[in-house]
Amino acid sequence: MSEMITDVQSVFSSIANNYDKLNTILTLNIDKLWRKKAVKLCNIKENDKVLDLCCGTGKMIELECKMVGERTTVTGLDFNKEMLNVGNKNLTQSLDTYKFNLIQGDVTLLPFKDNTFHSITIAFGLRNVPNKRKAISEMYRVLKPGGKAVCLELSKPELPILRNIYNLYFNFLLPVIGYLGTQDKAAYNYLRDSVNGFMTKNKLKSEFTNAGFENSGFKSLTCGVASLHYGAKPL
């Protein structure tokens, strides 16, 4: 387990400075729309306490700060220092008077009290966590009753013809483009393998339900290339 965590750390350390640019290229800038849909699904209100896990370079936090307003701090947590450094730099430049706090930490051992946050998001991060069940359990623990958790993840198209085209792109072309952009072939091979090895949409829905969330479900995005998973903590 410790070797796996170290490997993932090195992957994200190596691509931190190019992460956002390559995401834009590799998703044709659709990832921006996906994030907006994820934040909208949270139903964030002004002054809500919001936590973004695996926050990376801060793209979700930028959207969430504008939802809660200038008086409330949005909290981000990520295990990788290099990604957090990029996030702090980006958010300082883009948010002006909005408040945020980025913390280095473990998603499976969150440093927050029970029932702390109104909303929790995690975008493109859960598949990188070795113990996904523990991460979901921790999300449930720190969420306030009535609060909502939303997970944005890459997935596979449902239609066979689209799935075949996508697999060709994702398994062969994406690692090449990633390497040309970062000179780090291993990083984008890891991205490919982590998505291919991730649990199905129905399995992740079951994990949310088993953790205690109610009204768990998912919404496919862009013909199933990505998906939004969600659940609410009972009142």
SS3 183: coil
Q: Is 166 within a domain?
A: no
Structure tokens at 9: 């750390």
Domain holding 47, by residue range, is: 2-156+199-232
How far is the C-alpha of 120 from the C-alpha of 143, rounded, in Å?
A: 7
Q: Is 171 within a domain?
A: no
Tally of domains in the chain: 1
pLDDT in tens, 151-195: 999 988 877 888 888 788 777 777 777 677 666 667 777 777 888
CA atoms within 13 A on the CB side of 221: 21
Q: Is 165 within a domain?
A: no
Q: Is 110 within a domain?
A: yes
- Residue 174 has a pLDDT of 72
Q: What is the pTM of this model?
A: 0.91
Q: Is 212 within a domain?
A: yes
Which of 119, 107, 99, 101 has its CA nearest to residue 78?
A: 107
Q: Is 179 within a domain?
A: no
- List Cα–Cα distances, 7 to 10, 68, 82, 170, 190, in angstroms: 5, 35, 14, 21, 9
Q: Is 176 within a domain?
A: no
Q: Is 192 within a domain?
A: no
CATH assignment of the domain containing 69: 3.40.50.150
How far is the C-alpha of 103 from the C-alpha of 108, rounded, in Å?
A: 14
